[in-house]
Structure 1
């Protein structure tokens, strides 16, 4: 592909990402969550108990931003902090019952949204798309890291 075609492909990928965000955004607004807050809640619910540092590393945000994010989720009664019994300096976070219910309600709606979204692809196409997106994400992440 020539540079112009590659640029157009890049624009199409951006547009697809924007359109998919338009599908999920109203649902997150309904639950008073941002997409980053939802991703953090997802991590916490699925891992049951984890350190703030893990959230920071996984979401690729600064520790201060992760702490602010956790504070917001805690104020919404979706998560709670628990001190480690082994090391008082370590604070774990876990989902409250309300946080788990909220996550599962959103996830149920997301399942329907994304089943519809990807229904135009067969199983093989979906697997291949996942591989391609993963490969591109890994490559671009590596390029960004190398620039630092």
Structure 2
């Protein structure tokens, strides 16, 4: 019985779906715009920020892995890494087990920038969430987590 309940698909009206898509698109745009305003205080570009974020979250990775995560061409990612290496945000490191493999390693300055920017982004979100009561914020967290999990399945 529980499996049957979990497999039930709810019919959602096209208007409801359109409304949710529009709201999520607008929220995403506002977050992106605020993120770029925060980045203006730093010497990195938005694509560099995204690359630093992936390295911060996942650790050292190859240019190929980073290219795939960022949906960029290998050559574009190589140019991005070259610029970030000159700014001493990252460095190329040969793999100990396989010297043919080169991994990108996040340096202290890159880590510092990521931590500061993320802190400022989180403070912005906290300021917005202060307009929600605890139940609203908890429900939002639960629903966003569920939405994210469902999206990762597809």
Length-normalised TM-score, structure 1:
0.77
Q: Give, in whole Å, the separation in 2 of the partners of 1:58 and 1:102.
A: 20
Number of aligned positions between the proteins: 139
Q: Secondary structure at the match of 1:61?
A: coil
Q: Alpha-carbon deviations, 1:119-141, whole Å to 9, x = none?
A: 434223212122214424653xx
2:28 counterpart residue number: 17
Q: CA RMSD in A?
A: 2.3
Q: Does 1:98 align with 2:112?
A: no
Aligned mates of 1:72, 1:131 — CA distance in 2: 38
Once the 2 structures are TM-superposed, how far is the Cα of residue 61 of structure 1 from its aligned partner? 2.5
Gaps of 5+ in 1: 140-148
Give the secondary structure class of the aligned counterpart of 2:93: strand
Aligned-pair CA distance for 1:80: 0.7
* Deviation of the 1:5 alpha carbon: 4.3
2-structure distance, mates of 1:95, 1:51:
12
Q: 1:75 aligned to 2:93?
A: no
* 8 Å contact kept, 1:118–1:126: no
Helix, strand or coil for the counterpart of 2:40? Answer: helix
Q: So what's the TM-score if we normalise by structure 2?
A: 0.75
Shift of 1:75: 2.4
Shift of 1:57: 2.2
Distance (Å, rounded) in 2 between the aligned partners of 1:118 and 1:137 = 25
Q: Which ranges of structure 2 fall in alignment gaps of 5 or more residues?
A: 1-11
Distance 2:13 2:59 in 1: 48
In structure 1, what is the equivalent of residue 139 of structure 2?
A: 124
CA contact (8 A) 1:45 1:94 kept: no
Q: Per the alignment, in what secondary structure is the counterpart of residue 89 of structure 1?
A: coil
Query: Residues 82-101 of structure 1: CA distance to partner in whole angstroms, max 9, x if unpaired?
Result: 12233232111111221122
The aligned counterpart of 1:44 is 55
